[in-house]
Structure 1
Amino acid sequence: MKILALRLIIIIMMSLVGAKVPAQDSSSVYNRLFLEAVVERQKGNDTAAFDLLQRCVQINPNAAESHYYLAHYYLKLKKNKEALACFEKAARLEPSNTTYTETLAEMYVSLADYKNAIALWEKIFETDGSREDVLEMLFRLYQMDDNLDMAINSLTRLEVLEDKNEGISFAKSEILTRLGKKEEAIDEIRKLAEHYPSDLNYKGLYADILMQNDYDNEALKVYNEILDEEPDNNRAQMSIRSYFLKTGDTAKADSMTMKILLNKNTTGEGREYLLRQLISEEGNDGVDSIKVLSCFETIQRSDCRSADIGLLQAAYMRMKNMPSDSVERVLRQVMTFAPDNAPASLQLIYLEYERGNFEQVLKLAATSSQYNPEEMAFYYFEGMSLYQQDDKDGALNAFRKGVSVINDRSNPDIVSDFYSVLGDLYFQKGMRSEAYAAYDSCLQWKPDNYGCLNNYAYYLSEMGEQLEKAEQMSFKTVKNDPKNATCLDTYAWVLFKLERYAEAKVYIEQALQNEEDTVSHVLYEHAGDICAMGGFTEKAIEYWKIALQRDPQNKAIQRKLKHKKYIRQ
């Protein structure tokens, strides 16, 4: 049974490559060795299979299948010359075997031997003239061999099989252009348009190539023919606008611009593209901000209005440094017909927040979050506005709502900031364990949230807890921004709490060098405390006096000055 099974394997393997199965009563030694080679190959014993195939070739040099399989082993050994010789021998011994022939042709391609590859693929196509894949291969190879005439010939033959189409016509036109045959290149697209007379897109392509080759009047005639058939054809309108711009007819170009913008067949993306193009043309041929804004206003008063156009107008107005009231008017106009548009409402909220109109922010955020309950930014501004109004409980509730909508698609930066602010709020309310948990969550989402690292480290140092962890976190902020007075102050204070007074003095002095006039009394009070514990009493007194000037009612500083020493609070 095993012998019969093995014989079946060899018959199958040889039939897969189209090899002739030797008769059972002839070449018995060859048959046995080839059978063994196939079995070893099946087992993955490549060395044994390779040796057996070499012996097979010695016994029967005309056995194509042995040469074919042997070639694959030479490829694995990176012996391309030997592999090529084997593939060539197999194909020569059995020229009708398409597997052998195509494998050899692919080998020629991999070796950049385009002439031999072309000859072989042409032979394959002669055998089977229905194979589009072979013609596509020949098209590529003729280009690689810089034989552009035959590349076109391959496309012409392909056209017979596939019928005339845009891909083939454009490829032929492109090659004809490269050959300097401009008229023939144009004619190729004309033929395409005539072949599909009911498809105006092809007619537009023909007009486009005329325009590209400076046959402007001929192109305009074709565009007008398209508009006669289809007056709202967006493509033709865009091309005619380009024609008018090219010929310097600004008035007609402007007229066509408005036709396109108000054309119901123009897509939203098409309007945005044209408006951006108009903005880029600003300063040329009478295009100014008044004309651009007029286009925006006209669209938004029409049935073609959209939230995206409104947002683009607002962005343009900000770019032109127009008053915020004007920008706000545009955004509020968007909200009248698209109340659920999150970007518009967020921009309005930001404007109101910058003005300090916190009640208006709260009203907008409450309405907008109903339409977009998963948009975390609404809860952020709600929380920050409540915080500005000294409603810490309300702010805490808003940020809790924000973190409740976190999901796998949430922006890590935004989530991280939410947890950071939440941690600050918890700490201010004396909820230390909740604050630390929030800070830890913040750093899980974004380990380099330096604001969180600084605050977390400072609060730990104030509580005298996990000082080593605080030192590591604070040092990261200093390393990131070595001239940030706040970060330097925090790091100095953590070192102070670790009783590393000499180091603390170095960093607090760096903080003072980088401090701004608006810095609170805390920085100078810390400097005094650090100097006092480091044995620099006179310097400490100097710093405490500055701190008291900035906070005259501070009893703690008054006591330190009175007793001329650091007093733990």
Structure 2
Amino acid sequence: MRRVFPSLFLLLALLYLPEPGRAQQSQSGTTATPKAEAKPRKLSRKERKELARRAELDAVSSQRQLTEKDREASEAFFVEGVKYVILEDYNKALERLLKAYALNPGNAAISYKIAETNLLSGNLKDASNFAQSAVKLDPKNAYYYLLLAQTYASQKQYDQAAKVYTQLIQDVPDSGYYLFNLADLYLAQGKLNEALATLERAEKQFGPLDEVSFKKQQIYLKQNNLDKALLEGEALIKANPDEIRYVLAQAEMYAANNRLPDAVRVAEQALRQDPESPQARMILADVYRQQGNAAESEKQIKLAFESPGLDIDDKVRVLVDFIKQLPNPKIEKTALDLAAITVRVHPKEAKAYSVAGDIQTLTNHKEDARNTYLQAIKLDNSRYQIWQQVVLIDAELSQTDSLLRHTDRALELFPNQAPLWFYNGVAYVLNKQPAKGVKALEYGRKLATDNPELLAQFDTQLGDAYHELKEYAKSDAAYEAALTFDANNAQALNNYSYFLSVRGEKLDRAKEMSGKLVKQFPDNDTYLDTYAWVLYKQKDYAGAKQYLEKALLTSKDATVIEHYGDVLFQLGDKDKAHAEWLRAKKIGGASSLIDRKIKDKKLYE
């Protein structure tokens, strides 16, 4: 509710109101003797109330005769108090105002200002008491009633606030426009019948008003009285033939209540008034969707999206609804088309690119999504979530250079984000810079102490990085830490067991870990190769051959083929071993020893 206060000039002027007159003393010797049979006249409620008010004022006045000196001092304290209210120093303000009140308690303006100051400083009870005093001292001042109502509303005493508005409208001349405040108060309480009755009173006093009709319409809807709500809507349209917002509201009401043909009729009426109205087209798109007319629905929503008049936030809300339904082949093309329209119509809105990137990600257009996210970053680089999406796509696409570049840029803005340090470290390790990788990973790990799952990922990557640096004790410790958190961590189990086999150390532990993986994933060629290599290091060549042949059913990896050649050589099939080495060389990606093996037809390890 809007708070209204009188101006400082008005408050100061109130100080100069004459003191309430004392009750007149009867002149001696003039007392009339009533007739014995006459009955005393019964006072009306209004007369009793006025007499009580005068008695209260007389009581205040009789307590202390206000001298000119006291009046001047009170005025000075008042002015100083008002100054401190403006400066928002409420303690000093109250100190001065209360001194003014002590000197002149019958001045309504002082009570009013004390009430206002208490309200501003949160002393609601005192605010109510002094506001009541102001109203009693000057019952014709609307501002005092408004403040009193506000103090009650602030304490959630809405019934009391409503009574104050009712009294204000009744007692203060020309205050009928406060009926609207009273109606709003009833609406806030959910007292729909009282609000409706109050609005009808306002309508009788001021004639038909658009805002009154609109509020009545909302009340009818809350009362599930659709027919009356629609009648109010038709009245609004008739009274405002050039106001399209009422036509749109009526169309939305029909659509929301499953009156679909009427919704189409009224929305088309809106389009006749404004052929470019995107809101009308959005209504039609929704109605056609409900009717199962997908083609027409798509046509209307695309026309709406083409309009700059449809707010970017409205478009984003629609696209978010599509995102919630993805992946879904039936709507993917429409979602992508709407995303493309949005960035074309709003090329300077970061949120347009952001939501478009989300749709491209969910429809598996990853590189397009990354480019779109990067456009969003150009417009607004402050959103961590967008940087995160870019980094995740880099990692998913195994584009190490991009991953390193983007994590470096993101860390300049978000140095406390542990996931960025994780991917930055991974990028360095993959780029054959394990020392820098370890530095990034160790720093990021310190930021992830409250996230055990992320800590385990850091430990796994540190195991890889320390292995590259030949710091094997640290590597083993990192892997063991990762497995302590998750004994089924596939990356840690595979890499740890493989590196142990390459070093020829703890082969029983390596066999235990890789065997666990093979049991869980019997068709994974990477895990089969690792297990075979552990067996190879244990000189179980026949067992190694068996698992490598199973791996080669699905793998074309040069390392697996080279390993198979090594096993064959150990089993005495040197010609076939040589052939496998040649095949590995041709595919690319074999070990640095492959050329010597081929040239000398001999196994080197």
Whether these two folds match at TM > 0.5 is yes
TM-score category, normalised to shorter length: 0.5 to 0.7
Larger C-alpha radius of gyration, 1 or 2? 2
* One-letter amino acid of the counterpart of residue 523, structure 1: T
* One-letter amino acid of the counterpart of residue 166, structure 2: T
Q: CA deviation at 1:186?
A: 1.2
| Residue 141 of structure 2 corresponds to residue 164 of structure 1 | no
8 Å Cα contact 1:424/1:435 also seen in 2: yes
8 Å Cα contact 2:466/2:472 also seen in 1: yes
1:202 is matched with which residue: 204, 212, 220? Answer: 212
Distance of 2:176 and 2:483 partners within structure 1: 66
Partner of 2:465: 459
Q: TM-score, normalised by structure 2?
A: 0.54
1:253 is matched with which residue: 242, 263, 267? Answer: 263
1:475 is matched with which residue: 474, 477, 481? Answer: 481
Count of matched residue positions in the alignment of Structure 1 and Structure 2: 432
8 Å Cα contact 1:204/1:223 also seen in 2: yes
8 Å Cα contact 1:475/1:491 also seen in 2: no
Partner of 2:353: 342
SS of equivalent to 2:136: helix
1:435 is matched with which residue: 432, 437, 440? Answer: 437
Partner of 2:340: 332
Q: CA deviation at 1:396?
A: 1.8
Query: 1:501-548 CA deviation, whole Å, 9 max, x = no partner?
Result: 665554333322222513414431454378x3xxxx65x852464136
Partner of 2:530: 523
Partner of 2:163: 153
The 5-angstrom pairing of residues 68-217 of structure 1 reads: 126=136, 131=144, 132-138=146-152, 148=159, 152-157=162-167, 164=178, 166-172=180-186, 177=191, 182=193, 184-192=194-202, 200-213=210-223, 216-217=226-227
Q: CA deviation at 1:491?
A: 5.0
Partner of 1:57: none
8 Å Cα contact 1:139/1:155 also seen in 2: no
Q: Give the alignment's Cα RMSD to 1 decimal.
A: 5.6
Q: CA deviation at 1:361?
A: 7.8
Greater Cα offset, 312-321 or 258-267? 258-267
Partner of 2:330: 322
Distance of 2:238 and 2:566 partners within structure 1: 88
Partner of 1:222: 232
Q: CA deviation at 1:209?
A: 1.9
Structure 2: 5+ residue runs without aligned partners? 1-102, 119-124, 552-559, 573-602
Q: CA deviation at 1:136?
A: 4.0
Partner of 1:14: none
8 Å Cα contact 1:121/1:138 also seen in 2: no
Q: CA deviation at 1:436?
A: 1.8
The 5-angstrom pairing of residues 419-568 of structure 1 reads: 419-443=421-445, 446=448, 448=451, 449=454, 450-461=456-467, 463-465=469-471, 467-468=473-474, 471-472=477-478, 475-476=481-482, 479=485, 481-492=486-497, 504-515=510-521, 517-520=523-526, 521-525=528-532, 527-528=534-535, 532=538, 542-543=543-544, 545-547=546-548, 549-550=550-551, 551-554=560-563, 557-558=566-567, 561=570
Partner of 1:293: 298
CA distance 1:470–1:338, change in 2 (3 Å): farther
Q: CA deviation at 1:153?
A: 1.9
Distance of 2:315 and 2:129 partners within structure 1: 61
Distance of 2:240 and 2:563 partners within structure 1: 81
Distance of 2:390 and 2:274 partners within structure 1: 38
Q: CA deviation at 1:376?
A: 3.6
Partner of 2:16: none
Q: TM-score, normalised by structure 1?
A: 0.56
CA distance 1:554–1:499, change in 2 (3 Å): closer
Distance of 1:410 and 1:264 partners within structure 2: 51
Q: Identity over aligned residues, as a percent?
A: 9
8 Å Cα contact 2:165/2:178 also seen in 1: no
Q: CA deviation at 1:204?
A: 0.8
The 5-angstrom pairing of residues 264-413 of structure 1 reads: 278=286, 286=291, 289-290=294-295, 292-302=297-307, 304=309, 312=318, 315=323, 318=326, 320-322=328-330, 324-340=332-348, 341-343=352-354, 346-347=357-358, 350=361, 354=364, 376=387, 380=391, 395-396=400-401, 399-408=404-413, 412=417
Distance of 1:355 and 1:138 partners within structure 2: 58
Greater Cα offset, 201-210 or 360-369? 360-369
* One-letter amino acid of the counterpart of residue 563, structure 2: N
CA distance 1:288–1:192, change in 2 (3 Å): farther
SS of equivalent to 1:430: coil
Structure 1: 5+ residue runs without aligned partners? 1-93, 107-113
8 Å Cα contact 1:122/1:138 also seen in 2: no
8 Å Cα contact 2:391/2:406 also seen in 1: no
* One-letter amino acid of the counterpart of residue 171, structure 1: L
Distance of 1:122 and 1:363 partners within structure 2: 65
SS of equivalent to 1:554: helix
CA distance 1:509–1:263, change in 2 (3 Å): farther
8 Å Cα contact 1:544/1:561 also seen in 2: no
